[in-house]
Every structure is written in C-alpha cells, then in structure tokens.
C-alpha cells in the first residue's frame, strides 16, 4: 500500500506543472519515506480519491494532489472535457443534414472567465492552453469579472463551452470550476434548446467525469494537443486562436442591463444605496450601473477592491452572520435607504433595510427578496417580451418558499417549481423571472442563463425607489404581499456529517422509516425525488435527486436534501398562516406571522429530534 501510494505521488510530481505544489508534495514524500507518520497520513488524505466532477463542476481547497484544486487537476479536467466535447460534436456532425454548416468557425469555441481568487487566472490560462492547442477558438477574459458576465458571453459568442473559475462564496482557501454548455454542442445534447447557455446537468456531468477518469487511468498527460484529429501539435498556432475578451463585453452587458429599467413608469431615483462587493469582483460593475441608472451609491470602502484573502470576511457569504456588519455600519452613518451586497463572484444578491418597528436594520431573506422582485415584475410586466410570444412564467426552486407560487395563482400568471439550482431554473420555458432561496435571482433570462446579482441589484433599486416615493417601506411591501397571498415563514435545520460519503445515510434512514407526523401534524403527502417527479414534470435519470418532501395536514412543508458541495444535510422548513386578506391591518398580519413563526419553531424542534 505504501509503495503504491509513494509511486502515485512520484508520478503526480512528474506531471504537475506548478512548482509550488510540486515542491510541497516532494517535501511530504521525503518526510514520509523517512518514516514520518504524519507526512504519510497527509499524503494518504491527499491521494485517497479524486476530486469529484459534477453539475457544480469542481470546488475544493487549493493544494497538491488529486483531491485538491490545483493546475494539474484543472488541466486533466479540461482535457477530459475537451475529449468529451470533441466526441459529441463528431456525433452531431455525422447526424447533421449539412455537416459543413455544423463545423463552421462558430462550432469549436470556448469562452473562459475567472474571478479574483488565488490562482483563478492560472486555472483559466491552463484551460485556454488545452483547448487552443487542440484547435479550438478560445475567448479568454483579460481580467477578473463576475460569473454572470461569463454566462452572458456564452450566449453572445454562441460558444460550445463556457468555463468560469470561481468558488463563489466559499472560504479564501478554496477555488472552483463551473461549466456551461451552449452552441451546437448544447443543441445536440438537448434538442428542445432550453439548456443553451446554462450550466451542465446530468448525465453530461457524469459523462465528463468518466472521460476525465479514463484519461487519468490511462496515464494520459494533461496536454490536449493530440486529442483532436485536426489539431496537430503546433501550440503556437493554437495560441493564435486565443482571443481576448475585453472591457467591451462589460460595456455591452451594462447597456443591456440599463435597458431593463423602465424610466417612464418608474422614474423615481431618490434612493441612497450602500453597496458591498464583499472583496469580490462585482463592485466596479454594480456601482457603475446604479449610478448610470440615477441612484446614489456609497460603496463600503474596506470591502470594495477584489482581495482573495477576504480580510474582513472569513466566510465571504452575505448570508453568514456578521458578513454585512461593515455595510450596516456604513448605512447607519450615511443615513442610507438600502444596503445591497453581492457575494465574491457577484452572482448572488443580498439586501438589508431599516425596520422602523424594530428600530434596527434587518437583512431580508432570499425568499423575501424573491417575493418582492416577483411582485414588482408582475406589476410592471416582464422586463423583456418572450422571443416566441409565449406567456411569461415566474419560477423558483422547490426548496424556496411557496409564496411566489401563491401570488402567481392569485394573479393568474404561470409559475414553475424546479429542482435546486439555477441549472434547472435556466431551463424553464418562457421564464421571465426566477429565484432560489439562497439569494440567487435572475431578472433577465434572455441574456444570462444563471443567477445574476448585478442586474438584480439594479431592478431591486428601481423597485425600492418606487415604493419609497409612495411612502411604502420594503417591510410594509412584504405585509402587502402577505395580505394578498398569505403568510409563509421559512427556516432551515442543518445536520453536519463527518464527510460527503455519510450524506446519503440520513435520507436512507427516512426512506426506511418515513415519518407519519411532524410536529404533531399528520403527513398527508410525501415525495421521494429519486422515484417521484416534481408536479408538472416528468421523472428521468437526469432529474432524479436525493431529496424527500413532506406536506402536513397543517399546511407545513419539510424538504430534506443532502448538500451537493458540503458535508451536511439541509432540512428546509415552511409554515403557513391563513391569508389575512387584502384589507387586513398590520396588526392582523403581525398576528398571522407570529402564528406561523411559532409553528416553524415546532417544525424545527421536531426535525432536529428526528434527524439527530
């Protein structure tokens, strides 16, 4: 076992293009060969498997070896992705009516973006080199930028593949790799066309992972210059096919985003926004857009410039307790109307407002922001008309609140609920607005097939300024929505496990012994998403997921789902109260909220006991 491990480490060192990770492994290996037990244990941890490639791409701590994010893992991933794409495009060409049209210059094209995390630019450059050497037309961003900017560029270029190097809101020591499909490759794999420009879903992720494994098992060097029959080995010629994605892409995005505003119907601009980029890449674009839109913006200076060490936020997620402290302090001193925050890659949006009743600032939940934006878009109409003339649909993930669905029902507008993640929301036909409770929103699905915290910030400011002009706070607006559609209160219970391999045991135990009641209310309906489709959808291998849904007689909903990226099981809770009615006063709405909140705590206690 030890010699096999040491041999694998030596081979990895030979292939690793990064001097720093080579050196770190070489030092560990020397110590382990000298009978240092701690070094041997560390090597065993680093080489006990391989970083899994899935629908979330890759995401892990930076470091050496196959279980960490590093240049060799990225190059192997890119090589496997390239091999898979070449095979699928060849299949598409064989079945095409006019193969020459399919293989036009637009067909073998990739666009690559990156954020400001440690080594993001290196991972992007490695990916570009692999594809360029194989004869692909590579479009590489010239500087760090937001994830939605990359997602948009996949559609602008009609590229087969988009790669974004980012770990979103993970801790500073992490990095990741997100993959989008577009162009002819996406149209071949999903003939209905709804996945063009969106992140990959099953079984594409599994097929790419299998191809990566095949190349690694065959000990194939992570050099793709020979993987394409047309590529040859002239890397210099490949480099000539690399095109810089310049700031014109940013300017074009901003022009389209500003077109989303409706200055005729919503001309109000009396709004002072405090904005934090959370040390990420959204600051430049968001402040530029808000100012161009006519709003007053004060950035949180300490968190504005991109910084991969995130010095004021150990866990740079706006949802984390304390993450908005600097922004709230700035808002207090500036007497601002609204706090807006992005996560480091600017695909998510958080907001906080001053609550007069509580006498303090309050951060809104993702479900509250989703309901507010949803109602605003219902009242002003879709930001862009449907290209095919279809009736617009609002959508949210299944773990989000049912409030938007109820509001759509009340107003006679189409609604869809999808599996968790924007990779599914992006595939909803005729979607004009979509959101997920983890502060992900998309107000412009025509141009970005992913969550977008940049354009969402602009529309949220438009809505807030309009409400302010009528003397309505965001808290009061939430009460108006509750009066019309009902009171829905949400919360979570999180069960942490020792590692990812333990995740399935929690849901397996519930399948073996399903609950007959939760918090004293009988379970009247249950869904197992490994066997049952979501309402209005069809079950397929791609949509099967390890999640359980329970509805109770009291109207509660409980969803249990293992996390896709972290060693924890999430339990999503929702309690409801009767609709107070559109003429209800704030006191009646407050009483209904208190009733639902009390029920939510009962659900929390019940599920903590059940899952412990």
Task: Kindly compute the dihedral angle of the four CA atoms of residues 387, 390, 394, 398, in this order, to the nearest 10 degrees.
Answer: -110
What is the phi/psi pair of residue 274, to 5°? -100, 130
Q: Which helix (H) or strand (E) holds 341?
A: strand 338-342
129 three-class SS: helix
Q: Are strands 242-245 and 137-141 parallel, antiparallel or unpaired?
A: parallel
Residue among 589, 603, 506 at smallest CA distance from 546? 506
Q: Are strands 338-342 and 272-276 parallel, antiparallel or unpaired?
A: parallel
Residue matched to tokens 């354009």 = 455
Q: At what angle do helices 474-485 and 366-380 cross, to 10 degrees?
A: 80
In DSSP terms, 570 is beta-bridged to: 494, 561
> Given 120, 132, 168, 466, which residue is catalytic?
168
In DSSP terms, 110 is beta-bridged to: 138, 161
Residue among 425, 430, 397, 435 at smallest CA distance from 413? 430
pLDDT of residue 506: 85
Sign of the torsion angle spanned by Cα atoms 195, 214, 78, 310: positive
pLDDT of residue 105: 40
The CA distance from 599 to 316, in Å, is: 32
Q: How many CA atoms within 13 Å lie on the side-chain side of 150?
A: 34
Cα→Cα distances 485→207, 406, 466, Å: 43, 6, 21
Residue matched to tokens 């970083």 = 51
What percentage of the chain reaches a pLDDT higher than 90? 79
Q: Which residues of 465-504 are buried (b: 16+ CB within 10 A; e: fewer)?
A: bbbbeeeebbbebbbbbbbbbbbbbbbebebebeeeeebe
The DSSP code sequence of 210-272 is HHHHHHHHTT--S-GGGSSTTT-S-HHHHHTTEEEE-THHHHHHHHHHHTT--TTT------E
Q: Could you confirm whether 168 is annotated as catalytic?
A: yes
pLDDT of residue 236: 44
Residue among 49, 45, 35, 46 at smallest CA distance from 13? 46
Domains of the chain and any CATH numbers:
1-48 (no CATH), 51-94+104-221 (3.40.120.10), 249-471 (3.40.120.10), 486-611 (3.30.310.50)
pLDDT of residue 224: 44
The CA distance from 211 to 404, in Å, is: 41
Length of the chain measured in residues: 612
DSSP state of 566: S
State both tokens at 409.
């029902």
Estimate to the nearest angstrom the gap between the alpha carbon of 594 and the chain centroid.
32
pLDDT of residue 240: 54
Q: Extract the residue ranges of the chain whose pLDDT is less than 70.
A: 1, 95-107, 222-240, 382, 384-389, 500-501, 564-566
In DSSP terms, 414 is beta-bridged to: 393
Q: Which helix (H) or strand (E) holds 435?
A: strand 431-436
State both tokens at 334.
């500036």
Look over the chain and give the mean of its residue pLDDT values, rounded to a whole number. Answer: 91
Q: Can you list the alpha helix ranges (DSSP code H) found in 446-486?
A: 453-469, 474-485
Residue among 497, 496, 479 at smallest CA distance from 488? 479
Beta strand spans in 119-173 (E):
137-141, 161-165
pLDDT of residue 513: 92
Q: Which helix (H) or strand (E) holds 326?
A: helix 325-334
The CA distance from 432 to 516, in Å, is: 38
Q: Print the SS3 string covering 308-322.
A: CCCCCCCCCCCCCCC
The CA distance from 242 to 238, in Å, is: 7
Residues 6+ apart with CB under 8 A from 118: 62, 172, 175, 308
pLDDT of residue 3: 81
pLDDT of residue 135: 94
pLDDT of residue 2: 81
Q: Which helix (H) or strand (E) holds 157?
A: helix 147-157
């Amino acid at each position: 076992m030890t010699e096999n491990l040491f041999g694998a480490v030596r081979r990895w060192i030979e292939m690793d293009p990064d001097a720093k990770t080579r050196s770190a492994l070489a030092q560990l290996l020397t110590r382990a060969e000298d009978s240092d037990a701690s070094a041997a244990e560390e090597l065993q941890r680093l080489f006990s498997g391989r970083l899994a490639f899935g629908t979330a791409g890759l995401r892990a701590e930076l470091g050496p070896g196959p279980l960490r994010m590093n240049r060799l893992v990225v190059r192997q991933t890119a090589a496997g992705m390239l091999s898979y794409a070449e095979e699928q495009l060849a299949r598409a060409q064989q079945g095409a009516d006019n193969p020459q049209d399919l293989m036009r210059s637009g067909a073998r094209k990739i666009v690559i973006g990156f954020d400001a995390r440690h080594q993001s630019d290196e991972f992007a450059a490695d990916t570009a080199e692999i594809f360029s050497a194989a004869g692909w037309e590579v479009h590489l961003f010239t500087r760090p930028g937001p994830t939605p900017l990359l997602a948009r560029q996949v559609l602008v270029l009609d590229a087969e593949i988009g790669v974004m190097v980012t770990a979103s809101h993970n801790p500073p020591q992490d990095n990741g790799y997100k993959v989008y499909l577009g162009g002819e490759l996406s149209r071949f794999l999903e003939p209905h066309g709804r996945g063009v420009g969106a992140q990959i879903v099953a079984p594409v992720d599994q097929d790419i992972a299998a191809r990566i494994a095949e190349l690694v098992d065959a000990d194939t060097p992570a050099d793709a210059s020979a993987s394409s029959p047309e590529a040859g080995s002239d890397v210099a010629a490949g480099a000539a096919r690399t095109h810089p994605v310049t700031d014109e892409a940013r300017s074009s995005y901003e022009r389209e985003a500003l077109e989303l505003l409706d200055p005729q119907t919503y001309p109000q601009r009396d709004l002072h926004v405090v904005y934090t980029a959370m040390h990420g890449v959204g600051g430049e674009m968001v402040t530029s857009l808000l100012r161009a839109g006519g709003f007053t913006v004060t950035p949180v200076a300490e968190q504005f410039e991109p910084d991969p060490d995130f010095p004021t936020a150990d866990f740079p997620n706006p949802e984390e307790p304390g993450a908005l402290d600097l922004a709230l302090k700035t808002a207090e001193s500036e007497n601002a109307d609204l706090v807006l925050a992005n996560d480091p890659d600017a695909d998510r949006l958080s907001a906080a407002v001053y609550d007069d009743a509580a006498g303090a600032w309050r951060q809104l939940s993702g479900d509250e922001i989703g309901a507010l934006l949803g109602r605003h878009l219902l009242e002003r109409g879709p930001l862009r008309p449907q290209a095919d003339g279809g009736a617009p649909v609002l959508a949210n993930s299944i773990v989000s609140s049912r409030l938007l669905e109820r509001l759509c029902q009340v107003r006679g507008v189409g609604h869809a609920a999808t599996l968790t993640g924007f990779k599914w929301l992006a595939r909803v036909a005729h979607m004009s607005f979509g959101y997920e409770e983890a502060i992900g929103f998309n107000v412009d699905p025509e141009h970005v097939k992913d969550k977008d915290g940049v354009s969402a910030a602009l529309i949220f400011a438009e809505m807030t300024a309009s409400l302010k002009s009528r003397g309505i706070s965001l808290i009061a607006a939430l009460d108006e929505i509750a009066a019309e559609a009902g009171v829905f209160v949400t919360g979570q219970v999180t069960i942490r496990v020792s590692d990812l391999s333990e995740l399935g045991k929690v849901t397996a135990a519930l399948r073996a012994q399903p609950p007959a009641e939760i918090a004293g209310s009988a379970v009247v309906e249950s869904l197992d998403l490994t066997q049952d489709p979501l309402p209005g959808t069809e079950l397929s291998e791609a949509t099967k997921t390890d999640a359980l849904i329970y509805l109770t007689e009291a109207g509660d909903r409980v969803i249990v789902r293992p996390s896709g990226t972290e060693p924890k099981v999430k339990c999503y809770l929702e309690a409801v109260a009767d609709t107070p009615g559109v003429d209800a006063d704030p006191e009646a709405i407050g009483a209904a909220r208190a009733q639902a909140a009390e029920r939510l705590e009962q659900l929390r206690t019940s599920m903590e006991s059940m899952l412990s």
